Amino acid sequence: MSTDEPPLPDPQTLFDGAPCGLVVTKEDGTILRANLTFSRWIGFDPHVLIGQRFQDLLTMGGRIFHQTHWAPLMRLQGSVAEVKLDLVHQDKHRVTMLLNGVRREHANGAIYELALFGTADRDKYERELLRARKIAEELLREKTAAETALQQAQSELNKAYEKARRRASFAEQMVAIVSHDLKTPLTAIKMASDILARGEHTTKDVKMLGHISQSAGRAERMIADLLDFTLARVGRGIAITPASVDLHAFVGLSVDELRIAFPDATLLHQCIGSGSAYLDPDRTQQMIGNLVANSVAYGDLKQPIMITSRLEEDQAIVSVHNQGAVIPQALMATLFEPMTRGTTTDSDGRSVGLGLFIVREIARSHGGDVSVSSSAEEGTTFHVHYPKQI
């Protein structure tokens, strides 16, 4: 042994000071030796323990377990490991220990060498594990319940969505059917009012016939918007039949017709650039009509409404400008959505809130788009951009 290493304790010191209880017994359990650690754990002096039977230190349950289980195992296999036992302390409280034992044969008979370990820390650890397990199981139950509730809610939401979708589809179909069926009687009313207006009538009759014709025309535009809205909503989009047209001449003719439809408004047409554009004339006329109707409804009719047709190198632009109240910034994001109106005030010039939506859909059907700017100084201007070729 190196002189630099500390000396090892003698065997008796090692035995008595071992970090576990050490007990040597005869085969019948009579204690031959017990170390200080074991003696302190159960509150007896080591000399008092010598001569007692080890099983007599056990609780009644421990004695039965000793008799039926681990003593037979020691005889049959020569060892036991981690046997949990309850011993009785001198002051009568229980001390739980784990027992490891081996049987050794000697000339004078077999002896049992027992090592015992305290379980307080282990029991605490096991209790914490059990507590953690219970918490985990409870969390798992809560998670499972939450997932079940979520699945049920999702199922109910899907059913509600499907029900709402069917209702919306049915409503759109009904709108399309009713709108289509209304076109015939409205056309008849308008034709009849136009025919009646050709004869001799009083000023009052002429005024009333004019109201009938204007109202029928407004109803026709509303029905056309409803039909276009239904087509766009069911995914078919607004159909177009584009052709090469003289943009300025075409827009000029549209403005002339709109002057008749809106006699209270001053409509001006401005031309910029030259050339032709590739677009659907009927749909573009409808688009201009919707923008002018919007300007009549929301603009200042004391000032003119300017319709501008502009031809540039790669696009055609149709703009409609009016002076009047500024469009609120909060409304800008949804201005071109269906059923959106700039005000809740009713007037004869306002429809069901589909005009600007139809304008956007017509522009997109041509591969273009629509934009708007609005300020107190510059007024409100809608710009519809068409590519020269679709």
Whichever domain contains 79, its CATH number is 3.30.450.20
Give mean pLDDT, residues 44-52.
92
Q: Which amino acid is at 178?
A: V
Report yes or no on 1 lying in a domain. no
Nearest to 380 by CA among 270, 296, 278, 277: 296
Assigned token pair, 228: 């276009």
- % of residues, the chain, pLDDT over 70: 77
259/129 same-domain check: no
Kindly report which listed range (34-43, 159-168, 206-215, 299-308) carries the lowest average pLDDT score.
Answer: 206-215
The answer on 170 and 47 residing in a single domain is no
What value does the CA radius of gyration of the chain take, rounded to a whole number of Å? 50
What is the structure's pLDDT at 350?
45
Pair (335, 246) in one structural domain: yes
Residue where one domain finishes, among candidates 95, 118, 141: 118
Does residue 2 fall inside a structural domain?
no
What six digits make up the tokens of 326? 């500024």
User: How many domains does the chain contain in total?
Assistant: 3
Q: Measure the CA–CA gap between 272 and 288, rounded to whole angstroms.
A: 17
Structural domain boundaries, residue 343: 239-387
Q: Which region, left, alpha or beta, applies to residue 332 given φ > 0 means left and ψ of -120 to 50 means alpha?
A: alpha
Last residue of a domain, one of 192, 211, 231: 231
CATH number at residue 132: 1.10.287.130
Which amino acid appears at position 305 of this protein?
A: I
- Find the CATH number of the domain harbouring 247: 3.30.565.10
- The pLDDT tens digits of the residues spanning 306-340 come to 999 999 888 899 999 999 889 888 888 888 887 66
Banded pLDDT at 229 (limits 50, 70, 90): low
